[in-house]
Amino acid sequence: MSHTSSPASRLRPGTGASSQDEINAEIVAIEADAAARVAAGGSPELHPRRDYAPYRSSLLRHPTHELVRIDPEEVERVSPAFGHTDVNSLESDLTIQHAGEPIGERMTVGGRVLDGEGRPVRHQLIELWQANAGGRYVHKRDQHPAPLDPNFTGVGRAITGDNGEYSFTTIKPGPYPWKNHVNAWRPAHIHFSLFGNAFTQRLITQMYFPGDPLFALDPIYQSIADADARARLVGQYDHSLSVPEFSLGYRWDIVLTGPKSTWMEGEDADE
């Protein structure tokens, strides 16, 4: 297959798109405003503002009217089912789903799912999805000119144990460009989806990796004005989770409720 345009031209936003410096200035101004509100006696902003301007599409997609109330039982009758069988323990290993070995840095990602009181959330369905080592998703909307890996699909699921514990074996994802502004890149991250007792209780969040130089430039990560809340999205290297001669270990606990809960995405987020 041939292409008539360069990768850069296919990824560059249209005329009039903001520069990274402009996005950075907006991020700093919002964080300063949030800090001023806390200094005046307000509460820290643990979740993003719905109309967070540096994340350009949030201005068009955030709700502007009262939410429509629906019958949750009726919704559950038509909600999707992710898989036709019970969750198999092998589904948590994303490196064995194909005939060959996927390319990239193998990782073991584990931790616990907790409530706001520190109690384990048992038998919770966790799904994850991610880009491959080149920063490419197996999805028709992803036209990033990075290679697909025939041995890596990038999806898995697991059930938490009696202590709220979970574990996945996977490949470290790569960063990728997106069209929010000129030369915009998302830090490497893994999407996590958690279900309660029903599909209407689904929560989605993202785990990042320590020391990523793209943190300061990313309006999605920076949309959480409170620094401590942002830090709770970053997994930490844990040598006890590393598997000798096989994978490096990262620990990431997910807190579902309370003042130290893990940030969860809005329903319209897609990056």
The residues, ordered by sequence, that sit 6+ positions from 193 with a Cβ below 8 Å of its Cβ are 126, 127, 128, 129, 202, 203, 204
Question: Does any domain span residue 53?
Answer: no
Active site residues: 137, 176, 186, 189, 191
Question: Does any domain span residue 49?
Answer: no
Question: Does any domain span residue 125?
Answer: yes
pLDDT band at residue 83 under the 50/70/90 scheme: low
pLDDT in tens, 166-220: 999 999 999 999 999 999 999 999 999 998 665 567 888 999 999 999 999 999 9
pTM of the model: 0.84
Two tokens at 36?
């001023």
User: pLDDT above 90 covers what percent of the chain?
Assistant: 64
Question: Does any domain span residue 260?
Answer: no
SS3 108: strand
Q: Region 118-128: what's the mean pLDDT? A: 91
Which structural domain, as residue segments, surrounds residue 192?
60-255
User: According to the model, what pLDDT value does residue 27 have?
Assistant: 96
Ramachandran bin of 211, using left for φ above 0, alpha for ψ from -120 to 50, beta for the remaining angles = left
Q: At 112, which helix (H) or strand (E)?
A: strand 106-114
Question: Does any domain span residue 19?
Answer: no
Question: Does any domain span residue 269?
Answer: no
Burial 73-102 (b: 16+ CB within 10 A, else e): eeeeeeeeeeeeeebeeebbebbeeeeeeb
User: pLDDT above 70 covers what percent of the chain?
Assistant: 83
Question: Does any domain span residue 4?
Answer: no
pLDDT at 28 over 60: yes
Amino acid at 210: P
CATH number at 199 reads 2.60.130.10
Question: Does any domain span residue 16?
Answer: no
Number of domains in the chain: 1
